[in-house]
Structure 1
Amino acid sequence: MPATTRQRKKSVLRRLVIPFAALAVLGYFGFHALNGEFGLVGRARIEHQVRDLEAELAVVVTEREELFARVSLLRPESLDPDMIDERARLNLNLVHADEVAILRPGYGHGR
């Protein structure tokens, strides 16, 4: 009996497996390129956080510089009599006899 070769006709589904798999992989990576943590939307979110944190840093640096200036006035080598007087009045609730004190609620604590 002679050997015969049987040719099979490729089915439609078999022809579409690789293109569908490629589309699925491409869709997966495309979705994450847009919506992933480091995608286009995530990048905008990160840039927004950077702007917020830079603004907060500027506020904190300004506060630090103000505090540093006030602390430098309290150092022994550069004591400022006005600063000592201000702190004593604030902490001890003292006034001179010839001064008028105006009391405001909540003022003077935690300053």
Structure 2
Amino acid sequence: MAKKRSTLRTILRRAIAPAALLIVGVFFGGYAIFGPNGALAYGDIERQLTVKQRELAMLDKNRADLKNRVALLDPRHADPDMVEELALKNLGVVHKDDMIVPLTK
């Protein structure tokens, strides 16, 4: 009986390291497939990328519009229409039904 116990202990001691490695391997393998950055999340990541690219395009357009407005207000050569628009707005004489008609030069 003592020999059976020692044999069982020896088998268990030898099996601990491979079992631990197997558990760790299964964990990381499962994470690589099912995790937030895993293989199954690829479609969701592509969808998020598309949404972020649209947001970036919109922000780039807004930035270009703001850059244009800033350039129109440059003190060295300010655009008279832009100056008038801002002056009327800041003085509080613009009504919500006012319409700005751009004139081509």
Please, what TM-score do these two structures have when normalized by structure 1?
A: 0.56
Deviates more, 1:68-77 or 1:86-95: 86-95
Once residues 103 and 53 of structure 1 are traced to their aligned partners in structure 2, the CA distance between those partners, rounded to angstroms, is 34
Q: Partner of 1:45 in structure 2?
A: 44
Whose radius of gyration is greater, 1 or 2?
A: 1
**1:30 CA drift (Å):** 4.7
Q: What count of residue pairs does the alignment treat as equivalent?
A: 84
Please, what TM-score do these two structures have when normalized by structure 2?
A: 0.59
Once residues 32 and 66 of structure 1 are traced to their aligned partners in structure 2, the CA distance between those partners, rounded to angstroms, is 44
Helix, strand or coil for the counterpart of 1:76?
coil
The yes-or-no answer on 1:70 pairing with 2:69 is yes
Q: Assess, with a 3 A threshold, how the Cα gap between structure 1 residues 66 and 103 changes in structure 2: closer, same or farther.
A: closer
Spell out, residue by residue over 1:14-71, the C-alpha distance to the aligned partner (whole angstroms, 9 max, x if none): 9xx8xxx698677545533321122112222222222111111100000000000011
Helix, strand or coil for the counterpart of 1:58?
helix
Spell out, residue by residue over 1:43-100, the C-alpha distance to the aligned partner (whole angstroms, 9 max, x if none): 22222222111111100000000000011010012211111110011110237xxxxx
The code of the aligned residue for 1:39 comes to G
Which aligned segments of 4 or more residues in structure 1 are displaced greater than 6 angstroms?
22-26
The RMSD of aligned alpha carbons is: 3.1
Structure with the higher helix share, 1 or 2: 2
Trace 1:83-102 onto structure 2 (pairs within 5 A).
Answer: 83-94=82-93
